[in-house]
Structure 1
């Protein structure tokens, strides 16, 4: 796989991983709801960016990747009850990706 070919997609995925695995390290015990909200917003925004900047068909796998990549963080930072959030991340990133792809479609038409 040519890494340069997928640079934008990999950069966005790394930003998502940072939100799942590094950002929770900065949150205190009372910051849980704010942290979850911020991760949800970041997931949505990153999915919009992915949908709008990537011209690769592989971008449509992004929501599934986001959902699966969240699961190990449940066992690192949270408890089993947070597993349901992987479904929310799948839905949120799917909606964001769709919005971004539609933006790309409409803005690239002339």
Structure 2
């Protein structure tokens, strides 16, 4: 439970990007910009900061991936299922890089 509590601020920022940014999608171009650039950057930065502050956790990446699933039914179509894996992988890489930087900094 403490692990989830430590993740909460980072997960909330990621959650807001998953559920608030799609509200601004107007056409295919803005959808691609949001799905391929804006959300991944937010996900990566949050994950890197989490990895820098906390020890590396696979649970964080899986949680990020799971948080995206309901947004597929709300905002997207079935072609967005691949983004579950993409955002989970981005979170994994970001938290790994953050943990690596933190470890080598000390």
TM bucket by the smaller chain? 0.7 to 0.9
How far apart, in 1, do the equivalents of 2:82 and 2:25 lie?
21
What pairs with 1:1-110 in structure 2 (closer than 5 Å)? 1=1, 6=5, 8-29=6-27, 30-36=29-35, 37-55=37-55, 59-107=57-105, 109=106
The root-mean-square deviation of aligned C-alpha atoms, in Å, is 1.9
TM-score if structure 1 supplies the norm length?
Answer: 0.84
How many residue pairs were aligned? 104
Deviations 1:55-97 (A, max 9, x none): 4x6x431110011110110010000110011011111111111
TM-score if structure 2 supplies the norm length?
Answer: 0.87
Gaps of 5+ in 1: none
How far apart, in 2, do the equivalents of 1:60 and 1:32 lie?
28
How far apart, in 1, do the equivalents of 2:26 and 2:41 lie?
19
Cα offset, 1:2, TM superposition: 5.9
Q: Which runs of 4+ in 1 moved over 6 A?
A: none
